[in-house]
Amino acid sequence: MLDRRARAILERDRAAFMATLATDSRLFVERQERLFRWLGDVPLESYELTVAWDRFGDLTRPKDLDRYPTSDAVMIPVTEERYQIRGFDPKPAAEDLFYTFVRQDGEWLIAEDDDVSDLALYSARHLWDFGPIEQHESEHFLLLAHPCKRDGGCLQDGPFLELAEEGMRTIERYWPVRWHRRTVVLVPKSGAELQRMIQSTFDLNNFVAFAYSTVDLADGLDYTGHRIIPNPKALEGRSNESVGQILAHEMLHIATRDHAGPFVPIFVDEGFADYAGNDADPGALAFFNSEVAAGLFSGAIPEDFEFTIGDGTDIYRSYQEAQSAVRFFVDRWGLDAFVRFYRKLGRLEIVTGTTRYHVDRALKQTAGVDYETFQRMWADSIT
C-alpha cells in the first residue's frame, strides 16, 4: 500500500493516492487531498515510504483502538519518508511519519497521522503541507515559498537569492572542503508554520534563520536533506548586509553538515558560522562581541543548552562567547588547524566517551592543549 502511495505521488495519480486513505476522519482526508495537490509544485526526484518496525514497534494503545471501532486491526509504527528534490538532494531527506494503519474489509489503509502526538511523536510537516508552492532558482539555490500576496513584501520579491549567492562565495573562503554546494531554501509564511516544520520546543523569536537537516538512521548516522529555513518575521527591516551575513552563517552550517557528528558541540558550530558569516571582519566581530569584550561573560565556554534556553540577551551572549572562542582558536593556531579540529570531531559517530572527552582529544591533536587550557587561554585573552 505504501509503495502504491509513493508511486501515486511521483506519477501525480490522485485516485491512487486517495485510495490509500481510510475515511474515518473527514478532516484528515481533506488535509491529505490538499497535500497531494500542493505536492505537485515540488520538483521531486524520488519518493519512498517504509515502515520501520525495529525502531518503536507498534505504538497502538487501547484508546487508539477505540478510535476505530469498525476496523479489524489498528497499528501505529513509525513510517520513514525519504524524498529527493531534483537537482539539489544528493541523498534523500528522511523524515518520520506516524501513520495510523487500519485494516478494513481485508485492506490496509491510512486513517490518521497524529494519533500519538500526545506522546510528542509528531509526523513531519513540510512547507507543502501548509499551502501551494512556487519556485525561484539561482545557480546554487532553490527557493520554495508560498505565492506572495499582491501587496508584495515577501522574501522572494527582494534580492534574497543574490544575497545567498554572495554568502556562498564568502563561506567558501573558510571551509576548503568539498561539499554539494546546492541548497534548498524553504520560506514559511508564519512563525507557527516554522515552529511546526522544525518541531521547535523553544521560542523562535530569538532566531532569524535555521540550517535544518534530517537524520537518516538506515545506515549508521547520516545527515541529509539540508535546508535553510528563514524566520521571515525576524528578518523584517534588516539591511541587505545583515541578511547576507545571516545567509552566510546558515550556509556555513550547510557546508559543514556532511562532516559534522554528534560530538561537535554547539559552540563550535555556531561560533564558526558567526566567524565565517561576518567574513572574519574585525569591525563586525568587535561590534558583535562588544559585551564579551567588555568583560560581561563568565569566562566559560557556553554549554549546548545555553544557545536555546534563557532570554534573548542570554542567548545572544552565548553566541558572542562561541564566536569569540573560535576567533581566538583561528588567530592562535590558524584556520587550517580549526578545520582539522572540526573534522576530527565530526567523523566520530557512535563511539564511547562524552562530548567533552572527544573535544579534549581533538584539541590536543590539533592545537596541543586540552579543553580546560584552551578555555583559560581564551578567557585570559579577553580579560
Taking only the tens place, the pLDDT of each residue in 154-179 is: 777 789 999 999 999 999 999 999 99
Buried b (16+ CB within 10 A) or exposed e, 250-284: bbbbbbbbbbbbebbbbbbbbbbbbbbbbbbeeee
The dihedral built from the CA positions of residue 150, 151, 155 and 160, taken in this order, carries a sign that is positive
Assign domain 125-257 to its CATH architecture: 2-Layer Sandwich (3.30)
CATH class of 2-124: alpha beta
pTM: 0.90
Specify the DSSP class assigned to residue 13: -
Q: What is the pLDDT of residue 151?
A: 57
**CA angle, 296 then 302 then 303, to 5°:** 150
> What does residue 48 show for φ and ψ, rounded to 5 degrees?
-145, 145
Q: What is the pLDDT of residue 340?
A: 97
Computed over every residue of the chain, the mean pLDDT equals: 92
Q: What is the pLDDT of residue 203?
A: 80
**CA angle, 233 then 228 then 222, to 5°:** 145
Residue 225 CA to its chain's centroid (Å): 8
d(CA 82, CA 84): 7
Q: What is the pLDDT of residue 286?
A: 55
pLDDT digits (tens, 9 = 90+) for 270-322: 999 999 999 877 665 554 556 666 666 778 999 999 998 878 888 888 999 99
CA distance between the termini of the chain:
64
- Do 72 and 103 meet the contact criterion of CB atoms below 8 Å apart? yes
pLDDT digits (tens, 9 = 90+) for 256-267: 999 999 999 999
Which residue positions in the chain have pLDDT lower than 70?
150-153, 282-296, 383
d(CA 352, CA 143): 40
- In what helix (H) or strand (E) does residue 359 lie, and over which residues does it extend? helix 355-366
> Residue 224 has which C-alpha cell?
541529509
CA–CA distance from 91 to each of 86, 216, 233, 314 (Å)? 10, 10, 31, 37
Task: Write the CB contacts of 45 (distance below 8 Å, at least 6 apart in sequence).
Answer: 84, 85, 86, 87, 89
- Do 259 and 268 meet the contact criterion of CB atoms below 8 Å apart? no
Provide, rounded to the nearest whole percent, the portion of the chain with pLDDT above 70: 95
Cα dihedral angle (284, 169, 261, 372), rounded to 10 degrees? -30
Residue 336 CA to its chain's centroid (Å): 26
The domain spans of the chain are 2-124, 125-257, 259-383
